[in-house]
Structure 1
């Protein structure tokens, strides 16, 4: 199955749990050295109470399974996570294209400094590093980096 066979759609309440599970698996695979600041139950609760109902949350669905998620809060790209086996198959590219369509004036995001693959991915999509911190402002206390994408004028 290719990423073209995957449906991208707005998340509904029933997607909160499977999207949270994708987030948990992806986080564990991509960031093994970064402490997850919240337990699994708290993450699932956050998805069902906050992310899905209050933010612009999109899911990637194949055969009734959620395999990825994108969360936007205005111009901020809050979350982009894929099932680990979907990395490198074009699904992340589709989510970035969608985010840029939804926010054509520009986007900003944070990622951890240790997440080299994510940083390369965002840079490949035109995001530019604009700030680094020591991580004291995030829940994980992990050094992070802020990226900005501005459309070509």
Structure 2
């Protein structure tokens, strides 16, 4: 990449070759954003899950910065009206990609969205609240794999 040049990032549906890079983004982002949360799956299990389940069976979008920008730098998974995953390469946070993903999710589910995030992830709370999501439920974490207290957010379009 040339110094001072801007990388164009495209949001597009993931394909089979994106499974490994998307899983690796997820792993790096999870580790950076949630250092106190223990993942119940090994890195290889996460990669297998992306290859066998997420990419072929879910609606997954990737942020693709091209070869000069590092390839896949973010991902979002939508499962019906649930925004079930939104992860960015740590170095790509704060560049508007999360905003673009949330706008896309709202376009894909214009009647409303819900999502879960961990209670310890305060930056995510601020991010989603800025995008109109409202916290509606707090749990002790007994319903998730990580056994980490979480919070459910809901977004409803304005009439």
How many residue pairs get aligned? The number is 152
Runs of 4+ residues over 3 Å off in structure 1: none
| Counterpart residue number, 1:10 | 13
Q: Which structure: larger Rg?
A: 2
- Partners of 1:142 and 1:106 in 2: how far apart? 25
Residue ranges of structure 2 left out of the alignment (5+ in a row): none
Deviation at 1:68, TM superposition (A): 0.1
Provide the secondary structure at the position in 2 that maps to 1:67: strand
Task: Indicate the residue corresponding to 2:64 in structure 1.
Answer: 61
Q: Which of 9, 19, 43 lines up with 1:40 in the alignment?
A: 43
- RMSD after superposition: 1.0
How far the C-alpha of 1:37 sits from its partner, in A, is 1.1
Instruction: Report the equivalent of 1:131.
Output: 137
1:90 matches 2:96: yes
The alpha-carbon deviation at position 63 of structure 1 amounts to: 1.8
Answer yes or no: is the 8 Å Cα contact 1:2–1:89 preserved in 2: no
| 2:153 is the counterpart of 1:147 | yes
Relative to structure 2, which stretch is displaced further, 105-114 or 56-65? 56-65
**Quick one: distance in 1 between partners of 2:78 and 2:12?**
13
Quick one: distance in 1 between partners of 2:55 and 2:156?
26
